[in-house]
Every structure is written in structure tokens, then in C-alpha cells.
Amino acid sequence: MLTETQALTLARWLSPAYPVGGFAYSHGLETAIADGHVTDEASLQDWLSDLLEHGAGRNDALFLAAAFRATDDAELARIDATARAFAAARERVIEAERQGAAFVRTEAAVSGGPDTPLLHPVAIGARAARHGLPLRPTVALYLHGFMANLVSAALRLMPLGQTGGQRVQIALAPLCERLAAEAKTGTLDDLSSTSFLGDVTAMRHETQQPRIFAT
């Protein structure tokens, strides 16, 4: 059962206002739009659904859950190393590394605890366990924040409109809930990725010019 205090903690961590710089990252979406793979509301929803269910979203959920269950720093370090190895492109590592470092640094400053840099989903999982937050809603809100950030990026890159962006978020919310439920019982043995075009666009973004986003 999620208490009001716990809900507000997660809302703070996963809010666009939290200072991890999420607004700077598109996860390769900028290239997908430039290359014509994402052109409207329907194709954006399909793209994000694929990322969530078959790509980084699902894997991040498993990394978060593994970090939540980690019993010591050595295990956390192994989980973090595995997460780095599963990143399909250099910019994917940069995106997770910078946001994770900012999250850890900020939380250490405002509420104490370790400040060892970790990739973003690993850092969220470890800190959630430290605060006694329930795993399933933590994963669901993390995935929703990941998806909502990419919708926000799309709003700046294509004629989507605020209402269209909200429809995409509503449509994908049940998927975030289902992936969170699966992550609760999943392990790192369940890691996989078949979001190949998403990986390719993340790689191509490294040399894209001009561009707005860091990834």
C-alpha cells in the first residue's frame, strides 16, 4: 500500500522538475523523427510502446527491481555494470549515467545516504529500497516518467500538440503498469531487447547534425 508520503516522494523524484536534466535527452527519438519513422500521434505511440515493452523500458524496470533487492554495494556495482553492458549505444550510457549521477548527488545532499554514481534506474531502485518504498509503484512511475519525457521531446520536434501528447500518455499507462508487475517477479535472467530500430536511431544520433537533444 502506497502511503501519501511515499507517493509524494516518488512524484518528486520522477517529476520533470527534478534536476536530472531529463529535458535534454530524446533516447534516439530525435533521429527517428528526422528519418521519418515517427511522423504523427499514432506512430509516436507505436514507437514508445516498442521501447517500453521490447527495449530499454522493460530492461530498465528489471535493473531497477534488481537494485531494489540488492543486499550490498558489491551487488549494486554488478547490476550497474550489467546495465551499462546492455546499453545499445554510447549515448544511451551517457543519458542514464548523467541522470543517475544527478539523482544520487541531489538525494545525498537533501536526505543523506551514499553518493556513489549509478545509472538512473539502478540509482532509483537502490534509493527506493533505502526509503522503504514499494517496488511495483516505483517501477510503474519510473516507466511513466521515462515515457512522458519522450512525449515532451516529441512535442518539441513534431506537430503533435499537447492534447495528442496526453492521449499517448493515457494509452501507454496500462503498459507501464503491466511491465511494473512483471518486474516485481522478474530477474536479470529475463533481460532482452528486440527494439532494433530504436537502438539504431540511438547510434545514428551520435553523428546527427543539426540536433536539439543530447541523445
Domain boundaries, the chain: 26-206
Q: Say how far apart CA 62 and CA 83 lie, in whole Å.
A: 10
- pLDDT value at residue 120: 99
Q: Which residues contact 170 (CB under 8 A, 6 or more apart)?
A: none
The correct answer on CATH 3.30.360.10 for the domain covering 26-206 is no
Q: What is the largest CA-CA distance in the chain?
A: 47
Q: Work out the average pLDDT over 169-180.
A: 98
pTM, rounded to two decimals: 0.97
Structure-derived torsion over alpha carbons of residues 68, 70, 72, 78, reported in degrees to the nearest 10? -110
Q: What one-letter code names the amino acid at 12?
A: R
What would the pLDDT profile of 76-125 be if each residue is shown by its tens digit? Answer: 999 999 999 999 999 999 999 999 999 999 999 999 989 999 999 999 99
Cα-to-chain-centroid distance, residue 67: 14
